[in-house]
């Protein structure tokens, strides 16, 4: 009886927490053809996504990951090196509970490919744009998400629906 009560309380508290969260889908679908081309703003990205100083996971082309976040202010960023990027590569968002957000990671190039002065860039996009761009994408494998973040990873292998 105690075990049943414990399970019910745990399940109900998890459900309550989950409905108070916001859901953010990070993805990358940039163009290989424009990667490294001076002035390009839509090259492909391959690297690490951050929330503040916390690494959320590694993304590569044709991949996405959806994570739960508490509502409130968040500062997301992307880095090729796995080190926290400069402030000019950050995207600040105020997340609202129960809402879905879609963030595209791309590269921006300002130099010649061999002497590239590029940076990563995050853009908030609509659900419809994300779905159109991710026709062939698959979910990131759990091994590319740090262990301390995996409990926030949405295990569904499909994109969140548009409402």
Instruction: Decide if 160 is inside a domain.
Output: no
Instruction: Decide if 15 is inside a domain.
Output: no
Instruction: Decide if 158 is inside a domain.
Output: no
Summarised one tens digit per residue, pLDDT across range 76-98 is: 998 877 676 666 678 999 999 99
pLDDT confidence tier of residue 156, bands split at 50, 70 and 90? confident
Q: How many Cβ atoms from other residues are within 10 Å of residue 29's Cβ?
A: 21
Number of domains in the chain: 1
Instruction: Decide if 9 is inside a domain.
Output: no
pLDDT at 24 over 90: yes
- pLDDT at res. 119: 67
What residues make up the domain containing 129?
Answer: 22-152
Instruction: Decide if 161 is inside a domain.
Output: no
| E strands present in 9-153 | 21-28, 47-51, 54-59, 63-70, 72-79, 90-95, 100-108, 119-125, 138-139
| E strands present in 2-62 | 21-28, 47-51, 54-59
Instruction: Decide if 159 is inside a domain.
Output: no
pLDDT confidence tier of residue 20, bands split at 50, 70 and 90? confident
Instruction: Decide if 138 is inside a domain.
Output: yes
Instruction: Decide if 57 is inside a domain.
Output: yes
Q: For the chain, what is the mean pLDDT?
A: 78
DSSP state, residue 145: S
- pLDDT at res. 11: 38
């Amino acid at each position: 009886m105690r075990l049943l009560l414990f399970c019910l309380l745990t399940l109900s508290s998890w459900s309550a927490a989950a409905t108070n969260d916001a859901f953010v889908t990070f993805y990358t679908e940039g163009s290989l053809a424009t990667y490294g081309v001076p002035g390009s703003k839509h090259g492909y990205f391959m690297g690490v996504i951050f929330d503040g100083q916390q690494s959320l996971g590694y993304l590569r082309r044709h991949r996405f990951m959806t994570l739960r976040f508490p509502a409130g202010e968040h500062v997301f960023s992307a880095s090729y090196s796995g080190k926290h990027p400069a402030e000019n590569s950050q995207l600040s968002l105020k997340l609202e509970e129960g809402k879905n957000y879609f963030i595209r990671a791309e590269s921006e190039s300002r130099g010649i490919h061999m002497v590239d002065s590029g940076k990563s860039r995050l853009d908030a996009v609509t659900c419809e744009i994300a779905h159109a761009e991710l026709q062939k994408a698959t979910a990131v494998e759990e091994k590319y998400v740090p262990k301390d973040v995996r409990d926030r990873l949405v295990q569904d292998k499909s994109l969140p629906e548009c409402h």
